[in-house]
Amino acid sequence: MSQSGVSERILFLRRRIAAIEARDATAARAPLTQDRARHCERSEAIQDSDVALDCFVADAPRNDGDDFLSPLFATGRGGLSEIFSARPPDAPAAAAFALAMALRAQAARAGGALVFIIEDMSAREFGLPYGRGLMAAGVDLSRVALIKVRRPREALWAMEEALKSPACAAVVTEVFLDARLYDLAASRRLLLAARRGGALGVLAPQGTPAGRVSSAAELRVEIAANRSAQPAPLASARPPLSPLAPFLWRLRVLKARAGLLGAPGEIDPAQWRDIAFDPERVAFRHAFPERLPAEARDRPPVAAPSRRRA
């Protein structure tokens, strides 16, 4: 992590602590609201089960600044964002991020349907969204529709139709896009449709580098799979998978409309950052590096020196 990334994390922690202190002060005076009471219960449960990676995060109230994307989810606003994958193999991670954004939009709207539009080629390459996995992520399948399309043109048409409909909270489209097909005019149409329907459109284009596309989308991020897990010294002693594994990414903001990311200068958008999604609380947050397992005293001296330093 480079210098600016570290300073950003410290900034975030400071803000978090300030938020907690402020909350404690108000909580002493005012009775707990229902919402906050639920948070407290849940955070206790998480602490008890020792699943929490970071108790500060588990304790934090909703939308206290970590959710830097929250302006995009303002109720009934509607918007269009593009999720590019850093490299072709990161496409499933980008799709998972798109799903997280859709869930976030659904929660912000307190209802509405999720529509997934998948091109056949994309389905062959990376499979179709799996209902059980979606259920585990907190999706209500009775509010989900899956649209399979043959061509990118059909995908854009279906996306526009779905965005216009008042039924949809979010529309996620995975498609192999051509810059000739998806240009300023096409994306402007999508944006206007999203504004009209108050839905969030999430486009996850595949097979196109982000630099090739110019569009009217409000937010464009690049997603890479999180590779925080360190290779173990012994092949037999591989660490277990993080329980949040599908919802950990490295993210970089390539483009954001003015005002979308808060006051300028606070954070560096173009910086790669680690980000996590908490399906329980339906919120994004910083992903702090996971704790490394404690090292045994009598381990054989074959471990890499970098690991000993850590």
Partner 1 sequence: MRFLSVFLPRLATDRLLRRRRGAAPEAFALYARVKGAERLTAVDARAQKRGLAPGMAVADARARCPALALAEADPKADAALVAGLADWGRRFTPLAAPDPPDGLLLDVTGAAHLFGGEAALLDDVESRLRALGFAARAAIAPGPALARALARFSNTRLVAAQARQEELDRLAASFPIDALVLEGEALAGMRRAGLRSIGDLLERPRAPLAARFGAQALTRLDALTCRIRDPITPRFEAPAFIAERRFPDGLTRQEDLAATLTRLASDLCPMLERAGVGARRLEAVFYRVDGAVKRITAGTSRPLRDPARLAALLAERLSAVAEEGLDTGYGFDVLQLSATEVESAVPPQTAFVAPPRGGETDEDLGDLLDRLGARLGLRRVLRLHPEAAHLPEFAIAAVPAAFGAPRPHTEKCAESAMRPLRLFERPEPIEAIALFPDGPPLKFRWRRVLREIVAFEGPERIAAPWWDDAPQQFTRDYFHAQDKNGQLFWLFREGLYGRETDNPRWFVHGLS
Choose between 20 and 229: whose C-beta lies nearer to partner 1.
229
Q: Which listed range, 108-116, 207-215, 261-269, 295-303, lies at the site for partner 1 (CB under 8 A)?
A: 108-116
Q: How far is the CB of 79 from partner 1 (least distance, A)?
A: 17
Choose between 186 and 256: whose C-beta lies nearer to partner 1.
186
Among 111, 233, 262, 293, binds partner 1 (CB under 8 A): 111
Choose between 3 and 236: whose C-beta lies nearer to partner 1.
236
With contact defined as beta carbons under 8 Å apart, do 57 and 192 qualify?
no
With contact defined as beta carbons under 8 Å apart, do 223 and 86 qualify?
yes
d(C-alpha 297, C-alpha 79), whole Å: 54
Q: If binding is defined by CB under 8 A, does position 289 make contact with partner 1? A: no
Strand (E) or helix (H) holding 12: helix 3-29
Q: Which listed range, 4-12, 219-227, 253-261, 291-299, lies at the site for partner 1 (CB under 8 A)?
A: 219-227
d(C-alpha 244, C-alpha 262), whole Å: 27
Residue in 138, 122, 87, 116 with CA at minimum distance from that of residue 249: 87
User: What is the identity of the amino acid at 162?
Assistant: A
Q: If binding is defined by CB under 8 A, does position 291 make contact with partner 1? A: no
From residue 251, alpha-carbon distances to 86, 142, 171, 275 in Å are 9, 31, 21, 7
Among 127, 233, 259, 293, binds partner 1 (CB under 8 A): 127
Long-range contacts of 288-291 (CB under 8 A, 24+ apart): 288/9, 288/53, 288/54, 288/57, 289/228, 290/53, 290/228, 290/229, 290/242, 291/53
Q: Which listed range, 9-17, 179-187, 233-241, 256-264, lies at the site for partner 1 (CB under 8 A)?
A: 233-241
Strand (E) or helix (H) holding 251: strand 248-256
- What residues contact 200, with CB distance under 8 A and at least 6 apart? 72, 73, 78, 79, 80, 81, 101, 102, 105, 169, 170, 171, 194
Choose between 179 and 244: whose C-beta lies nearer to partner 1.
244
Among 54, 64, 161, 178, binds partner 1 (CB under 8 A): 161
Q: If binding is defined by CB under 8 A, does position 235 make contact with partner 1? A: yes
d(C-alpha 123, C-alpha 288), whole Å: 32
Q: If binding is defined by CB under 8 A, does position 88 make contact with partner 1? A: no
Q: If binding is defined by CB under 8 A, does position 52 make contact with partner 1? A: no
Among 59, 66, 82, 90, binds partner 1 (CB under 8 A): 90
Question: How many residues interact with partner 1 (rule CB under 8 A)?
Answer: 67
d(C-alpha 71, C-alpha 52), whole Å: 27
Among 146, 179, 192, 254, binds partner 1 (CB under 8 A): 146
Q: How far is the CB of 29 from partner 1 (least distance, A)?
A: 32
Q: If binding is defined by CB under 8 A, does position 190 make contact with partner 1? A: no
Q: Which listed range, 4-12, 143-151, 209-217, 257-265, lies at the site for partner 1 (CB under 8 A)?
A: 143-151
Q: How far is the CB of 198 from partner 1 (least distance, A)?
A: 9
Q: If binding is defined by CB under 8 A, does position 107 make contact with partner 1? A: no
Choose between 113 and 186: whose C-beta lies nearer to partner 1.
113
